[in-house]
Structure 1
Amino acid sequence: MRQIILDTETTGLRVEDGNRILEIAAVEMISRKLSPPENHFHRYINPERDSEEGALRIHGLTTEFLSAYPVFADIVDEFLEFIRGAELIIHNAPFDVGFLNAELRRLGRGTIHDYVAGIIDTLAEAKELFPGKRNNLDALCDRYEIDRSNRVLHGALIDCELLSEVYLAMTRGQDSLAIDLGLSDEDEAGGPGAHGRRHQGSLRVIAPSTEELAEHVAYLDQLDRALKGTCLWRQLEPANESAA
C-alpha cells in the first residue's frame, strides 16, 4: 500500500479569513517503509499575502523569503500527481484538507478527495487511544520517545518525518498476518492457490530465543510508558500462563 504523510504550513489558522498555504511536504511510505528522501515532495509556495503574526512566529517563513517561490497554481499538477491514488496520513486532517480544498477550488480542480484513496487523521486516532490527554505532535513524540530536538520551528517536512514515526508507533502490531507469515500479495488477497498454500502441512512452532524474549519485554515496557499504565498483553499474561 502506498501512503503519503502530508503536512502544510499556512499564513494563518483560519482558511475563512483568506489565509493560504505557503509550504507543503509529502513523505512517501510503501508497505510501512519510508521511501528515500529523493522520492518525497517538498515545496515552498508564494502565498501572495503576508502571514499573520501568530503564524509567522510558528513557522518563521517571511513574505520576503517566500516571494522567490512559485505560487500554488504552478506546483498543483506536480503535487496532485505525487499524491494520486495514495492514502494520506495527516495530523488534524480537517485543517490541512480545508486549506488544500480552498486552493484547489480557486483553480477549479475539485477537492483533495478526488485524487486520493482515503485520508487517515492521526489526531482523531490518538484521541481514541489517549482520551483526555494532550495529543498534539509534540506530546505524541514525547509519549512514544521520538526525538524532536531538531524541531525548533514548525516546518512541513520535519513535521511529516516526525509524524511518520508517530504513525508507525501508534499502529505497531496492526500489520497484516500475511506480512508476519511472509505471504505474497497474491496469498494475502486470496489469489489462485492461496488457500492451499496457507493450510498445507502442519504449523511449525519455533520457540523464542532468550534475546527475543528480552526484546519482547522491552517492547511491553515501552507500551506501558506510552499508556502510563499496564498494556493489555500484560493484563492477559496470568490467563495465558494458567492456560499453558
Structure 2
Amino acid sequence: MSKVAVVTGAARGIGLATAKQFLAKGWSVALIDWDQAELDLACGELGSEAQGFHCDVSDEVQVQAMIAAVLARFGRLDALVNNAGVAEFGPIEDCDFATWKRVMATNLDGPFLCTQAAVPALKEHGGAVLNIASISGLRASTLRVAYGTSKAAVIQLTKQQAAELGEYGIRANCVCPGPVRTKLAMAVHSPEIIAAYHDAIPLNRYGSEDEIANLITFLCSEEASYITGQVVAADGGFESTGVGLPALRE
C-alpha cells in the first residue's frame, strides 16, 4: 500500500505543487481546500491516486469529518502538510479584531485542529507533520501584524508538536517560505516591490512553488527520518541577511 499525504490549501500554489510532487514519488494524496470549484479543477488533472476533500480547516467539526473521510478512502495517513493560510495586510491600527480572528483561525487554529485530528492515524505507522509558516514569522515587517504573528505562533506550535509527538515516531517540522513567484504574488506585487525584494535577497530572485515543494516532500520522507523540531527558511537567504540594506553591498 502506498503512503498517504494530506495537503491542506492544495487547490493552487505551493499546496498543489506539493501534491503533484508526492504523486510523482508514488504517494497517494488527499487534497484539502475550502474552494470546491478550484479543488475540482486541480484534482481533475491528477489521476486516481489523488482525491479532493472540501474542508474549512478552521472548523473543528469539518476537520474531524475530513480526516475520517480520508482514512475511509485511503486506509492510512503518513504525512500531514498544514499549508492552508490566509493573508490580510494593512496598518496595525486598521487591523480590527474580526480581521485578527479570521487570520488566526485559518493560519494557527487550522494546523492545530488538523494535527489533533490526524495524530491517531499518524501513530499507527509513524509519520510526519509539516507546517507552513513564513519568513514573516521569523522577522517582523510592516502591514502584517496578524499574519506575521500567526506564522510565528505556527513555528512554536511545530516545536511543541515535535517535543510531544516524537515518542510515537511522529516528526514535526516547519518550512518558512520567503517571497515565492505564485500567481497571487505576481498579481499584487508591483515592479517596485519585486525589485526591492530582489535587492534584499542574496539569490536575487523569488523562489518557485516547486522549490518549496521540494523541501516539504523531503521533510516528509524517510530520507528525513531523524529530522524533527526544525524550522527551515526557504527564502534565497532573505532571513540570513538581517537588516540587509542593499546600499551596504557596494
The alignment's TM-score, normalised by the length of structure 1, stands at 0.31
What TM-score does the superposition give when structure 2 sets the normalisation length? Answer: 0.30
Which structure has the larger Rg? Answer: 1
